[in-house]
């Protein structure tokens, strides 16, 4: 049973460019959340997707957008990249049920903006 997978592993971009990161959730999970983790900091919640819709959003600008596909996989898009967007981007998945749902995290994508 594959866990959460993310691609690519590493990515280097320049300021102003756009980037797309991908996530496949754990088998049986239909909810995907994205987090940004700057160096030396804890992860920060970007947004959550369920049924192809954004359900919750953290304190991130509109340059950060996402998508969820019918197979539950998800993409994170960041436009007009800034140096400060350099971070580890983590995807987490869980089933959409009431009550507590453990988040399973992927290995992350390391984005470097030059």
Partner 1 sequence: SQQGEEDPQALSIQEGENATMNCSYKTSINNLQWYRQNSGRGLVHLILIRSNEREKHSGRLRVTLDTSKKSSSLLITASRAADTASYFCATDTPQGGSEKLVFGKGTKLTVNP
60 lies in the binding site for partner 1 (CB under 8 A): no
CB of 65 to partner 1, least distance (A): 18
- Binding residues for partner 1 restricted to 89-108, rule: CB under 8 A: 90, 92, 94, 99-108
Asked if 74 and 67 count as a contact pair (C-beta separation under 8 A), the reply is yes
Q: Is 73 in the site for partner 1 (CB under 8 A)?
A: no
17 binds partner 1 (CB under 8 A): no
Closest CA to 47 of 21, 12, 14, 26: 21
- How many residues of this chain bind partner 1 (CB under 8 A)? 32
Among 45, 54, 60, 73, binds partner 1 (CB under 8 A): 45
Q: How far is the CB of 16 from partner 1 (least distance, A)?
A: 26
């Amino acid at each position: 049973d594959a866990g959460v997978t993310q691609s690519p592993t590493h990515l280097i971009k320049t300021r102003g460019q756009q980037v797309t990161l991908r996530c496949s959730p754990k088998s049986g999970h239909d909810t995907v959340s994205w987090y940004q983790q700057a160096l030396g900091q804890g992860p920060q919640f970007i947004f959550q997707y369920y049924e192809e819709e954004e359900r919750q959003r953290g304190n991130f600008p509109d340059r950060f957008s996402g998508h969820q596909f019918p197979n539950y996989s998800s993409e994170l898009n960041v436009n007009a990249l800034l140096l400060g967007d350099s971070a580890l981007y983590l995807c987490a998945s869980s089933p959409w049920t009431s009550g507590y749902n453990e988040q399973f995290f992927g290995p992350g994508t390391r984005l470097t903006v030059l």
